Amino acid sequence: TYVVTENCIKCKYMDCVEVCPVDCFYVGDNMLVIHPDECIDCGVCEPECPAEAIVPDQDAKAAAWLEKNRDFASLWPNITRKGTPPDDADAWKDKPGKADLFSP
């Protein structure tokens, strides 16, 4: 599976949802997650994210986020169309330490 990591927090560009062939993205207050059991590992979303937030589960950055993706994909609504990203998305891009801003 692919995993959405902390780089998505407060960026939420949503380019990823437009390309997913199985519509397995779920949307929270300030980030998205991927349902690990629905993702077919196609990889097309990874290069679409301007924040480089999406990584394969073999990536070291995925470890801290895989279970959050699983848990919150079951709680948050599905999203299949790109909406409007936050006004300050670009200001949050590449900021370190965003994990603490995760909003369940």
Cβ 82 vs Cβ 17: under 8 Å: yes
Those residues whose C-beta lies under 8 Å from the C-beta of residue 44, and which sit 6 or more positions away, are 19, 20, 21
Tell me if 2 contacts ligand SF4 by CB under 6 A: yes
Q: Write out the E strands in the chain.
A: 2-4, 25-27, 32-34, 54-56
Q: Given the complex with ligand SF4, which of 20 and 27 has the nearer CB atom? A: 20
As measured in angstroms, the least distance from the Cβ of 31 to ligand SF4 is 14
The partner in contact with residue 26, picked from ligand SF4, ligand F3S, none with C-beta cut-offs of 5 to 8 angstroms by kind, is none
Tell me if 51 contacts ligand SF4 by CB under 6 A: no
The number of residues that bind ligand SF4 (CB under 6 A) is 14
Taking Cα atoms as reference points, which of 30, 28, 43 lies closest to residue 76? 28
By the criterion CB under 6 A, which residues form the site for ligand F3S?
A: 4, 8, 11-16, 32, 48-49, 51, 53-54
